[in-house]
Amino acid sequence: MRYAEELVREFLIFRGFTTTLQSFESELSTEIGRNFDVDKILDLIFSLYIPKFQPDKLLSLLNFFKQCLTSPSETALLSALSKLELSVLRYYVVYALKSSRPDKVSEFFGLNGNYLLEKRDDWLPWFVSNASLRIIEAEIFFIISLEREKKKLVRIIVLTFIASLSIFLNIPRLPSLLKISTEKITVNRLKNDIKQLNNRLSELQALLEAKEAEISGLKSLPPTVLGEEKIIKDLSINDHHRKSSTSVPETKDLNESSDTSNVLSEPGSCSTQSALRDEPFQDSSCNITQAGSQQELMREEDFSEVKVNFQETFLGHTSPISRCRFSASGANIASASLDGTVRLWTYDSSSPSSRNATIYCGTEIMSLDWECRSDRLLLIGTADGGIKAWNADAKRVVADLSTSKEYPSVLDMKCSPVEPIFVSAAASKRRGSTILDRAGFASLTVWNMKLLKPVTVLPLGEDPPAITSLCFNHNGKILAAAATDGMIHMFDMSAGLQITGWPAHDTAVSSVKFGPAETSIFSLGSDGNIFEWSLHNQGQILWSRDCNKFCNQESLDKCRHEIALDADGKRLLVTSGLVRAPIYEVQGQMSGMKTLPHSAAITSVDWHPTLDMFITGSADHSVRVTSII
């Protein structure tokens, strides 16, 4: 209550309502201002609103009581309130006539015509016929002759009803202002519950991942090894039975041997003699196989789990995530799903959510990019050749652009960090098993962001392979473009010409990023190889990693893999066909880290522009923001 009173004081001071503030302070100093007081309401009705002829305020008070009674279970109270309203207003009319103020009666009927039409069945007997006039005169005479008794009776009726209503209002329904602290506590409690559930979910997913790795290790063992282990176990059991059963005839042993020989002569197994003769060799081969499997598992387990400062999960999508991106400031996030929906949201509850929105594109979203200098403009590239420019402040599409019909798939877009331009990489379509296989020939178009019109087309030669990823350097003068034929192309944006290029991978390049000092460039191939290329000595590899176990061929059907560098350029995050994504230490000796698990493949990643924070989108329809220590 005190907290709510302080809020009211603060509001009145802010708006400059000094007179109201003085009245508020004055009433708070008395006991009558402490709670809902029935006598105070009665005084308003019978000592102010009716004697001062203020029917508008009287109706406003009665309407407030009606608003408090909205539930179907409150029908009886609402019916009683309607009857009370009719009686009080009739009392007002009679009081005005008794006071020789027919002008107030005319004013009342003139201002409340709509109300009288709604209540015509109750009011018609009052002023239509002569009989109604006699009724009014009779009531006037009744009030004049028995004024005290009548007034007491009306007060008792109103007092009884409002007292009942006050009890009803005070117990289950506090004023909305008093619910602020309660709602804040509820929100904090729900956040803690969500955090605990997320931690529990992470533990269960980690356990599930360990079990799946164990099963995968067992499946990788040759079938003969498992069969030999079963044979040895069966032989040891038979030997134990032979030793313990001394009364069994010799012929029984021969039969057992014969049965065992029959079992061992099945396909995929060995004979009894060879099994017994080669037993030491078989044990050693089994150990070698198990050791190799354990080494493979150990290489994956070398990735320690990231230490999390906090984590928020967004569950607003209904299909797998195709792309997710931080805005230029990092305060807003855009995430897209395969059903053609883009969601704009914030991960921090203290940040303003005025830009939060849902954008329906009607087709698959293939690329997203924010304007580099503000959080105002978001570009959305689709699979039908559309490029939508969304104004986050106005919450509307300010331009609906289109590529040429020959190149309908907008695989990537990048905004210049300096100039008001962006480049789109569109591709033709062809048949293929993966997203990259289905990309045909390429088209690179430069667009003016102010005019929202195409400016020029960058030269790529005749029938160039599709461009899958774009990246500007810090001043926007150089553009790097990765292609499905394994090439990396470099363009001079001032001249609009290609200045160099080299074969970087034996397979398609799915993502490129400039290094922190821009003396190198990182590339990710669809084969899972990551290379850091020197820009001073073209073709020289400065650093490399093989993440094939994360970016395997099967995962290419689910997503187009990409990489993301942190603000310092020291950590590189990669999408994954598994439930965890790897984070590599660039130029470091550590093998890397791994993210907390989703429940499906991680299809998109991005780093915060300034903080130790990254975002992961998953095929499980969720997007997760993780701040690491």
Closest of 596, 605, 561, 555 to residue 578, by C-alpha: 555
Q: What is the mean pLDDT of the chain?
A: 77
**Rounded CA separation 131/149 (Å):** 25
- Taking 70 as the threshold, does the pLDDT of residue 527 lie above it? yes
Calculate mean pLDDT across residues 459-472.
94
Q: 3-class SS at 94? A: helix
Which pLDDT does position 190 carry in this prediction?
A: 86
Most confident of the ranges 42-56, 250-264, 594-608? 594-608
Calculate mean pLDDT across residues 54-82.
70
**Rounded CA separation 257/253 (Å):** 6
Calculate mean pLDDT across residues 580-607.
88
pTM of the model: 0.57
Which pLDDT does position 513 carry in this prediction?
A: 96
Which pLDDT does position 134 carry in this prediction?
A: 46
pLDDT, one tens digit per residue, over 481-499 is: 999 999 999 999 999 999 9
Which pLDDT does position 112 carry in this prediction?
A: 74
More confident residue, 239 or 568: 568
Q: With contact defined as beta carbons under 8 Å apart, do 437 and 393 qualify? A: no
Which pLDDT does position 30 carry in this prediction?
A: 58
Buried b (16+ CB within 10 A) or exposed e, 5-43: eeeeeeebeeeeeeeebeebeeeeeeeeeeeeebeebbe
- Other Cβ atoms closer than 10 A to 273: 10
pLDDT category of residue 628 using cuts at 50, 70 and 90: very high
**Rounded CA separation 595/579 (Å):** 9
pLDDT category of residue 175 using cuts at 50, 70 and 90: low
Closest of 577, 549, 547, 580 to residue 206, by C-alpha: 580
- Taking 50 as the threshold, does the pLDDT of residue 557 lie above it? yes
pLDDT category of residue 41 using cuts at 50, 70 and 90: confident
Which pLDDT does position 152 carry in this prediction?
A: 54
Which pLDDT does position 222 carry in this prediction?
A: 62
Of the chain, the percentage scoring pLDDT greater than 90 comes to: 39
Q: With contact defined as beta carbons under 8 Å apart, do 623 and 325 qualify? A: no
Buried b (16+ CB within 10 A) or exposed e, 359-377: bebeebbbbbbbbbeebbb
pLDDT category of residue 407 using cuts at 50, 70 and 90: very high
- Taking 50 as the threshold, does the pLDDT of residue 278 lie above it? no
- Taking 50 as the threshold, does the pLDDT of residue 536 lie above it? yes
Which pLDDT does position 38 carry in this prediction?
A: 64
Calculate mean pLDDT across residues 182-198.
80
Q: Which helix (H) or strand (E) holds 87?
A: helix 75-98
- Taking 50 as the threshold, does the pLDDT of residue 256 lie above it? no
